[in-house]
Structure 1
């Protein structure tokens, strides 16, 4: 006759309930749905529904029609504004990267008071209104502004230059406003790169430039891609700065949409313009995500 002795270490499994699964690290499908339901409702009410109404409004005149989109394609003005918006966004993004990467590198490697000074120079503009910063550029670049005054006093020019209400003024002001959105993501990645990687490359015979090009720059690509996406998306949707420092020759899509809604009251056509701008933004994000995944694959192979 054999007897069985219960193992005191074996804990009987708790039966799965409607809210909990058998694993202590997982929730059941029902509880997961209840947890994400408020977020899904907020997303549906604050994003999906307005976007759906926007697209449906662009297809009405008053019945279903595509004439608003045909108007965008056939009339040269609107395609010119769209291309100028994309071009300005690309220039602002590249300029922000070229000017912001050294600042990010300095923030990641500076110590003491220098680190505090650079961080303050980057963060303080974020606490200032975009409207205030745009008006500051008007004070600097206007006909009787500070820049023209300094150039005339130095004898470099005889009469004031037209610096304000130009495409260059828009690019300059937008770059100033958006540069922190490039600096911070790149800095966040650079500060996580161990210094030993660069030291190892130098010990293996690489020079400073080669070590930066082959070690630091590839490892900082996620921050660069994130900063480029943020800057480009914000740039093509900018309204305040182009409206204040830009002229008719620097008209952008956001300003054009504002004119259609507030001046001409053509809401269906404004909805079509906004839908085209939204679609362009989504395509850009998808292309950047694909480029980032390809870059990670190439780095893993190398």
Structure 2
């Protein structure tokens, strides 16, 4: 007679709880210990982020009385609509420029070794350790009428007089792309690094030239890193304040600067909170769309 297998407990078949996935010294921590370890983080998140944010958003619907008039103002006034459209347009241009500049750098970082790889990595990471204000001020020095760029253009004979490069939409896009470039390079570099070199060699053995192998093998397999980097740059650009305020003009007014004006000059906190609420809805919508388009495990390198 064959032996009967002992019954398996239902808890053994159930998927592990997220609070039971932490390990310490080779031992799996219980849910209680895991919750205790995570409690300071969630308490800090609640105190310094969620509570102030919810308090601010409550002003948009509760001041001076329960109403949605502040949100109606955002969409009724064409000036505010133009600011929102301009913010999205500048953010999109910034993302495209960062992608054009950043993808070749990320690709090269996966192909070089030694001192060259160290130099490229330093060039990408060092700007993260400097202030955004300092990097933006550098662009003011470069783009002003007597700056390096205008002097170089006149020395080369391309222009007869200084051009207006500063306080333009192009200056805003260029400076923002420079500041946000590392946030696009690093996800793409991670995606490209996870692609085995054998795939490109196999494509070459099957008759594909380098151009075809790039567009049909390398680029599709790195799209998770490309989309994640583009999303990070675009969402960060939507809320940029320092760079547009310094290198832009009133014609390049963006939503973050508009919020600052409403708070500091107009003292209209409820309307400023409504602008922030609209921006949050846009950010949340884009994040959910991206989450549907690219699964989280692929984003973190779990699959091609």
The two structures have a TM-score, normalised by structure 2, of 0.85
Q: Aligned match of 2:185 in 158, 164, 183?
A: 183
**Residues 185-212 of structure 1, C-alpha deviation per residue, up to 9 Å, x if partnerless?**
1112211211111111111111112211
Q: Aligned match of 2:128 in 126, 129, 132?
A: 126
| Contact 1:54 1:275 (8 Å CA) reproduced | no
In structure 1, stretches of 5+ residues that fail to align are: 1-19, 297-301
Q: Give SS of 1:59's match.
A: helix
Which deviates the most, 109-118 or 242-251? 109-118
**Residues 7-57 of structure 1, C-alpha deviation per residue, up to 9 Å, x if partnerless?**
xxxxxxxxxxxxx9xxx9765544444343333322222222122112101
Paired position in structure 2 for 1:299: none
RMSD of aligned Cα (Å): 2.1
Q: Give SS of 1:109's match.
A: coil
* Separation in structure 1 between the aligned mates of residue 60 and residue 74 of structure 2, nearest angstrom: 12
Paired position in structure 1 for 2:231: 229
In structure 2, stretches of 5+ residues that fail to align are: 1-19, 21-25, 299-303
* Separation in structure 2 between the aligned mates of residue 95 and residue 156 of structure 1, nearest angstrom: 23
Map 1:124-273 → 2, pairs under 5 A = 124-273=126-275
Instruction: Choose 1 or 2 for highest CA Rg.
Output: 1
Paired position in structure 2 for 1:37: 39
* Separation in structure 2 between the aligned mates of residue 226 and residue 28 of structure 1, nearest angstrom: 33
| Contact 1:55 1:272 (8 Å CA) reproduced | yes
**Residues 80-104 of structure 1, C-alpha deviation per residue, up to 9 Å, x if partnerless?**
1111111111111111111100100
* Separation in structure 2 between the aligned mates of residue 257 and residue 130 of structure 1, nearest angstrom: 19
**Residues 53-81 of structure 1, C-alpha deviation per residue, up to 9 Å, x if partnerless?**
12101113311111111111100011111
Aligned length: 275
| Contact 1:61 1:268 (8 Å CA) reproduced | yes
Which deviates the most, 118-127 or 279-288? 118-127
Give the direction of change, closer, same or farther, for the CA distance of 1:156–1:273 in structure 2 (3 Å limit): same
* Separation in structure 1 between the aligned mates of residue 34 and residue 148 of structure 2, nearest angstrom: 59
* Separation in structure 2 between the aligned mates of residue 40 and residue 215 of structure 1, nearest angstrom: 42
